[in-house]
Amino acid sequence: MTRFWWVRHGPTHARTMVGWSDLPADLSDGAAIGRLRDYLPAAAAVISSDLSRAVATADAVQQGPDRLPHEPDLREIHFGAWELRSHAEIAAEDEALARDFWERPGDICPPGGEGWNQLAARVSRGVDRLIGAYPDGDLVVVAHFGAILAALQRAQGVTAVEVFSQRIDPLSVTELAYEQGRWTVGRINHRP
């Protein structure tokens, strides 16, 4: 069984759409980092997306010696022209597209960005590689809101609209396991 301990990176405090922009994480809450580190399995291999907020969070929680290469497929959704812009700015430019992107997630993309289905396919590729490389073990995967929701959607077998009802807070843990073609879901958005 492959057990995934999905950790959302530390907060960026940005009040805009942050996808592939490489903003740093605020890891100043040492108590929260300590509780998170204590909660995660000590011997687990650790992997993160290649964005610095995920890399730094993975560095902060890693306990064991196994650090895997950064995985670009675990990045956040690519917001394209919406990157680092507020919801209000985006809606003022194209309200219908902005509304459809969130209310009918799937193939709808921001200009120059990717849609939910593209994100989900990319994350699934990365997850499948991890399952193949670690068919029996624990993996701490430090990633982003969208990547964690995509993995959760796959494990639960629900629609994107349904999975969007989940909260995934910074420094939270979402537990998924895969064995012989079946997913099980443990805690979602757990804050140790």
What's the pLDDT score for residue 13? 95
What's the pLDDT score for residue 64? 80
Asked if residues 189 and 172 have their Cβ atoms less than 8 Å apart, the reply is yes
For the chain, residues with pLDDT lower than 70 are none
Cα–Cα distance for residue pair 111/81, rounded to 1 Å: 5
What's the pLDDT score for residue 65? 83
**Considering the domain boundaries, does residue 146 fall inside one?**
yes
**Considering the domain boundaries, does residue 143 fall inside one?**
yes
Asked if residues 138 and 44 have their Cβ atoms less than 8 Å apart, the reply is yes
**Considering the domain boundaries, does residue 61 fall inside one?**
yes
Query: How many of the other CB atoms lie within 10 Å of CB of 13?
Result: 11
15: left (phi over 0), alpha (psi -120 to 50) or beta: alpha
- Which helix (H) or strand (E) segment is 48 a member of? strand 45-48
What share of the chain has pLDDT > 70, as a percent?
A: 100
Domain CATH for 61: 3.40.50.1240
**Total of domains in the chain:** 1
Per the prediction, the chain carries an average pLDDT of: 96
Domain range for 137: 2-185
**Considering the domain boundaries, does residue 190 fall inside one?**
no
Rg (CA), the chain: 16
**Considering the domain boundaries, does residue 191 fall inside one?**
no
**pLDDT tens, residue by residue, 31-58:** 999 999 999 999 999 999 999 999 999 9
**Considering the domain boundaries, does residue 192 fall inside one?**
no
Q: b or e along 15-45 (b: 16 or more beta carbons within 10 Å of the residue's beta carbon)?
A: ebbbbbbebebebeeeebbeebeeebeeebb
